[in-house]
Homo-oligomer: A and B are copies of this chain.
Amino acid sequence: MSTSLHHRAVEHLGSRIVGGALPTGHVMLAEQLESELRVSRSVVREAVRVLQSLGLVETIKRVGIRVLPAHRWNPYDPLVIRWRLAGEGRGAQLRSLAELRSAVEPAAAELAALNAPQELREELVRISLAMRDAGRAGEMPLFLELDIRFHALLLSGSGNEMFANLIGQVAETLTGRTVHGLMPDHPKEAALQWHIDVARAIADGDGEKAREASSNIMREAIADLSPSWEDQPRVFVPVERKQS
């Protein structure tokens, strides 16, 4: 009950659209939403405006509020990602995130090796060693926490704010991997060593080596996670001929 009406309205509509309950092209009327959500016009209108900025709906005069096709949604918005992870798009969303992460992290590692501040490099080494200890001891909750922090520091250390912004999504996938039992009781020894390799390469300013070691981690992560999106069909969004 602590959440505002606005927040609830956005949540309700957004999750139903992304979850597929409101199909593409479905038209709603503002008045109808008022009675459905039991809120006033202002709340509905402000919620619709937010959903509009996320690319989930468009408003057309004399027609109403229309649900836009999925390829118009902003796939990088935290709300959209959360709704997809909660609904039937979960598998496809996990795959997208994993592939994005696989592409970005090696690049981030290379940039971190070239640019990261000294203190960050040192902490990265410390954490990679702590991960090894926690991993060997089978202390998985601690390991997860260190793992998240390791990758957060790595992305942050790249000095690229678009990379750094993926921290939340990466934490989500790491947590999900543990929670959904896709993680062995003990992390593989090779994975622990790769983390140390990444950290040491960054500390040494060796971009090439950092990227290589990070790629190994990513390959392993994809292999661990891929069962969760088996048989998810890929969608190929159309390419428009003109840009605005």
Give the contacts of A1-55 with B (CB-CB under 8 A): 6, 10, 42, 45-46, 49-50, 52-54
* 82-131 of chain A: CB within 8 A of chain B: 92, 95-97, 99-100, 102-104, 106-108, 111, 115-117, 120
Task: Say yes or no: B50 contacts A161, CB within 8 Å.
Answer: no
Contact across chains for B49 and A159 when beta carbons are under 8 A apart? no
Quickly give the copy total for this chain. 2
What is the CA–CA distance of A156 and B237 in the complex, to the nearest angstrom? 6
> Chain A's interface: helix, strand, loop or mixed, by majority?
helix
Within A139-169, the residues touching B (CB, 8 Å) are: 148-149, 152-153, 156-165, 167-168
Chain B residues near A156 (CB-CB < 8 A): 236-239
Partner pick for A53 among B54, B102, B148, CB 8 A cutoff:
B54
For residue A108, which residues in chain B have a CB less than 8 angstroms away from its CB?
103
Chain B residues with Cβ under 8 A from A160's Cβ?
95-96, 99-100, 234
Chain A interface category by residue count: 35 or more
**Extra 19 A-B pairs, beta carbons < 8 Å, given A76-B77, A168-B243:** A6-B49, A42-B45, A46-B49, A50-B50, A74-B78, A74-B165, A96-B160, A99-B158, A100-B160, A103-B104, A103-B108, A103-B163, A120-B236, A148-B243, A152-B239, A153-B239, A156-B238, A164-B236, A164-B237
Question: Hey, which bits of chain A sit against chain B, CB under 8 A?
Answer: 6, 10, 42, 45-46, 49-50, 52-54, 70-71, 74-79, 92, 95-97, 99-100, 102-104, 106-108, 111, 115-117, 120, 148-149, 152-153, 156-165, 167-168, 171, 234-239, 241, 243
Q: Which 8 A-B pairs have the closest CB atoms?
A: A159-B234, A76-B76, A103-B107, A152-B239, A46-B49, A50-B53, A96-B162, A164-B237
Q: List 29 A-B contacts (CB under 8 A).
A: A46-B46, A49-B49, A50-B52, A53-B53, A53-B54, A70-B161, A71-B161, A71-B164, A74-B76, A75-B165, A76-B76, A76-B77, A76-B165, A95-B160, A96-B160, A96-B161, A99-B107, A99-B160, A99-B163, A100-B162, A104-B104, A116-B236, A156-B236, A156-B238, A159-B236, A164-B236, A164-B237, A167-B239, A168-B243
